[in-house]
Amino acid sequence: MSELLNINDMSVKFPTRFGEYTALDSIDLAVKAGEIHGLVGESGAGKSTLGAAVIGLLPSPGYISSGKIDFSGKDLTRLDQQSYHRLRGSRISMIFQDPQTSLNPLLTVATQLVETIRQHSDINPLDARSRAIALLEEIGLYDVEQRIDDYPHQFSGGMRQRVVIALALCTDPELIIADEPTTALDVSVQKQILELIRTLCTERQLGIILITHDIGVINEITDHVTVLRSGRVIETGTTGDVLGNPSDEYTKALMAAVPRLDKRLDRFKNIVAEDLLDSEDNSWRLPSASAEFASQWLLAEHQREDSRSSDAGPVVSVEHLDVTFARGQPSWIKTRANFKALSDITLAVRPGEILGVVGESGSGKSTLAKAIVGLVSPSAGTMTFRGEHLPPRLKRHRNHVARRQIQMVFQDPYSSLNNRKSVEQIISEPIRFYGLANDEKLIRKLVASVLELVEMPQRAMLKYPHQFSGGQRQRIAVARALVARPEFLICDEPTSALDVSIQAQILNLLKDLQQIYGLSILFISHNLAVIWQMADRVVVLKQGELVETAETEQFFRAPSQPYSQMLLSETPSLELIQ
């Protein structure tokens, strides 16, 4: 079979104030009809840029500086804007990452489908509508006749992604570029969507370029895979070959950094030599500040407390906890319709253990964290901290001991650090607030030391959050949580916004800190493989209810509840990787 798309020696450049930046460097790529070609790589590798270049929507001021994109015999780089725009939708289409944002919220599904169909073929609105209905049925939507006139927000995430796929398919394109099509979805929905993409690809003989950072997805459905790094092709071949027998060092390291369900590791392998440790950054140091100093300072507190409470009662326990959110505005006439985010949750975190919390989106994982840390008021139930009653949200006074001893690391390091404050101000704030040190010199020394402890250069304290990458920001967030000398740390999806290599580093760091300081951690993640690597025990939540509590080993060998079994079976396997 001849190739549908053949990219030949293509480079993409972005002119900037500091000269040209090469986003893609002599890329070769071929996609056949009826084949799913995976593009995998970490953020900044140029995966999305490659997709945008093929469909002719490179963000300004980027341009294709050399090479050819041969699409069924035509060179796309020579097309003028107008004919390119006609090609989009009719022959090449695209599926975006987040179904929440890729549909126009103000237009009905029917309007968007009919408009797209009529844009590319000369048929009347009624025929277009019946075609849309037929397509939605094929895609797996129920009650299509009634639901087609609904607006996007009336559909669930998975259904919305099906609508997105229908929109991409409604004009019978030959090539589809799917940019992270399942990243925003739960595993169970992800599995269905991936199966749908596979079926459509085979039945309609589509060529699909599947862009993802998730090796699991690659393993699950692609035929060929190309590994990108910093705009270059590192390795390409059939999926079995690349995953099972990688020839390049980077690919090998990438595979090793992926958390897996079948092997438990003590530490992840670090992929990248840390680029942040350049000489300029390292030369700046505060005298006598060091990781050892931070370590001693943090431990001093613990030893004092250990002698006080040596009995092994739980650090935090939660009994019959309910959290109810009110829907809509209060009214005199009707009682408020309420939404129960958590109901009857009972769990305990033992000293020095990592308790993993898993569940799909909407299962109440984050609500649980917020209730414990005091951001959300529970409607019923009790919480205790080291055997003492833990007052809920507003009743927990700001100098209550738990305010300091329970700290939290949030999911998105881009929004959890104040961009207007320097790293020094961010990290020293808890020290000052809790009065842990008063001497200015000591505070500075502590900040520098704790940065070193989380493997950041001391110089970082002079900079602002926007000067750091996601992984570095998350380290700063961890440092900020640590300086409060917490007993109990809550990590809410601490790595889900990060690349696998960075994820590996952060997970290693958390694990080390936990072992050294005997921290107890509540570790929330939707990623079962991460939980398997990190947690001692696992708690499964489903729609606000506690489904199962088990030791990690036992949970992953033989989960007792059907829901847990389903979660496990739907996580993409990595069987091709050695």
Instruction: Please answer whether residues 294 and 452 qualify as being in contact, where contact means their C-beta atoms are separated by less than 8 angstroms.
Output: yes
73 binds other proteins (CB under 8 A): no
What DSSP element (H or E) covers 490? strand 488-492
Nearer to other proteins, 277 or 326 (CB): 326
DSSP conformation letters of 93-150: EEE-S-TTTSS-TTS-HHHHHHHHHHHHS---HHHHHHHHHHHHHHHT-SSHHHHTTS
Q: What is the CA radius of gyration of the chain?
A: 26
Give the per-residue contact string, 149-188, with other proteins (x = CB under 8 A; - = no). Answer: --x-xx---------x--xx--x-----------------
- Which 23-62 residues touch other proteins, going by CB under 8 A? 55, 57
Q: Cα–Cα distance between 399 and 403 in angstroms, integer? A: 7
Closest distance to other proteins from the beta carbon of 179 (Å): 10
Q: Cα–Cα distance between 223 and 276 in angstroms, integer? A: 36
61, 105, 287, 435: residue in contact with other proteins (rule CB under 8 A)? 105
Residue 444 vs residues 44, 224, 256, 279, 440: alpha-carbon distances, Å: 34, 52, 38, 22, 6
93, 182, 379, 428: residue in contact with other proteins (rule CB under 8 A)? 93
417 binds other proteins (CB under 8 A): no
3, 70, 98, 138: residue in contact with other proteins (rule CB under 8 A)? 98
- Of 188-196, 328-336, 471-479, 508-516, the window that binds other proteins (rule: CB under 8 A) is 328-336
How many residues would you count in the chain?
578
Q: Cα–Cα distance between 168 and 200 in angstroms, integer? A: 12
97, 474, 501, 520: residue in contact with other proteins (rule CB under 8 A)? 97
Please name which of 511, 565, 558 lies closest in space to residue 533, comparing C-alpha atoms.
511
- Of 130-138, 192-200, 323-331, 364-372, the window that binds other proteins (rule: CB under 8 A) is 323-331
Closest distance to other proteins from the beta carbon of 101 (Å): 4
Q: Cα–Cα distance between 51 and 232 in angstroms, integer? A: 14
Residue 12 vs residues 7, 229, 345: alpha-carbon distances, Å: 12, 14, 53
28, 66, 75, 104: residue in contact with other proteins (rule CB under 8 A)? 104
Q: Cα–Cα distance between 408 and 416 in angstroms, integer? A: 11
- Which 125-154 residues touch other proteins, going by CB under 8 A? 151, 153-154
337 binds other proteins (CB under 8 A): yes
1, 18, 106, 304: residue in contact with other proteins (rule CB under 8 A)? 106
Closest distance to other proteins from the beta carbon of 274 (Å): 33
Q: Cα–Cα distance between 158 and 186 in angstroms, integer? A: 8
Nearer to other proteins, 12 or 54 (CB): 54
Within 309-364, where are the H helices?
none
331, 335, 389, 557: residue in contact with other proteins (rule CB under 8 A)? 331
Which parts of this chain interact with other proteins (CB under 8 A)?
55, 57, 85-90, 93-94, 96-98, 101-108, 115-116, 119-120, 151, 153-154, 164, 167-168, 171, 327-329, 331, 334, 337
